[in-house]
Chains A and B, each alone.
Chain A
């Protein structure tokens, strides 16, 4: 490193995992440790500190920027942009849409979550093929699928807003019930359900604290931080991937890309988390 004379650069260097000192002040009161049991947990507290530092410069922002460009660019066989895509608040309204998804859409007579709706817009407005998009739905070290960047952009437009997943329409309530069913459904080689890990307080896998999604103050942790930039491998992932991976870990048949199953579970988790503030795309270990 070479310093030019005259001007003085104080310090450079804070690459891969920036140390707290080099970053100066972290955001005040940014991370809140989960309540009760977790409060006493020193390891978790350290993880939360680490996360707060990382959140200060989150590579997810890069994907937000890429997603915004994808949103506004005319693409696909129909040479159309997504600016007429209705995410539930009217065509083209992105601000605040993410925290109100999944919701019921009259045009398809279905409840759809964010990624599913975006993929729906990509197929109907831009003419992309769902089968093609479903072939490589998740980020790899060589490529980040377009829906992933788009979801990250849309999620970023709800930063700091309260989660308000609607339950007005009968289908929305039905989807919630189905989601709850799936959440507690025990099956597979391990006789597992989502609730086996996420149904009581104080559970963990290695050092990872597992939130209890049946409680509102912890259910927010299913939404918080997603879409998330995963330090492991440096990949951007959405909730669609998170659910898929949970199914895989339970040795369940993996749900189809943007399927009813995913929407139902996300409705269940979203409604449980209603009223909590969504902090935008996050960063994961």
Chain B
């Protein structure tokens, strides 16, 4: 099971400034281990964000993203009490979903 994400959201008016930290090895498929074998490709492929169950965006990302990536974005039209859900799915089909409730301030 994947480690939980760390989601931090700060509301400024009706804009939520969101920062998501994801724990993932993000293997490029180009590295070799100490025995000389290629480390297989393993990376987050899709990231989706939902506000109260309604999709805000979906991102297709590549193996060019760093290990344990940080993902930042702003959502307009958010208010305190809204539920923000982030999901990632990697190329092996592993997934992780985490949710936060927006608070004022």
Q: Which of A9, A14, A58, A62 has most B Cβ within 10 Å?
A: A9
CA–CA, A142 to B33, complex, Å? 9
Given contacts A7-B56, A57-B21, contact A66 B3 (CB under 8 A): yes
Q: Which positions in B face A, CB cutoff 8 Å?
A: 3-4, 6, 8, 15, 17, 19, 21-23, 25, 31, 33, 49, 51, 54-61, 65-77
Q: Is A61 an interface residue (CB 8 A)?
A: yes
| Interface size grouping (class) on chain A | 20 to 34
Report B-chain residues with C-beta under 8 Å of the C-beta of A22. 72
A65 and B70 form a contact (CB under 8 A) = no
Given contacts A1-B57, A65-B3, contact A23 B65 (CB under 8 A): no
- Nearest CB of A to B45, in Å: 13
User: Which residues A58-79 have CB closer than 8 A to chain B?
Assistant: 58-59, 61-62, 65-66
Report A-chain residues with C-beta under 8 Å of the C-beta of B3. 62, 65-66
The listed residue (A2, A7, A17, A142) touching B76 by CB distance below 8 A is A7
B21 and A11 form a contact (CB under 8 A) = no
Given contacts A6-B54, A62-B23, contact A12 B71 (CB under 8 A): yes
The listed residue (A3, A18, A61, A233) touching B72 by CB distance below 8 A is A18
CA–CA, A56 to B17, complex, Å? 12
A3 and B57 form a contact (CB under 8 A) = yes
Report B-chain residues with C-beta under 8 Å of the C-beta of A145. none
CA–CA, A6 to B56, complex, Å? 9
B58 and A2 form a contact (CB under 8 A) = yes
A9 and B49 form a contact (CB under 8 A) = yes
- Would you give 21 A-B contacts (Cβ < 8 Å), ordered by A? A1-B60, A3-B56, A3-B57, A4-B57, A7-B55, A7-B77, A9-B56, A9-B73, A9-B75, A9-B76, A13-B72, A13-B73, A15-B65, A16-B70, A22-B72, A57-B8, A57-B70, A57-B72, A58-B21, A61-B21, A234-B66
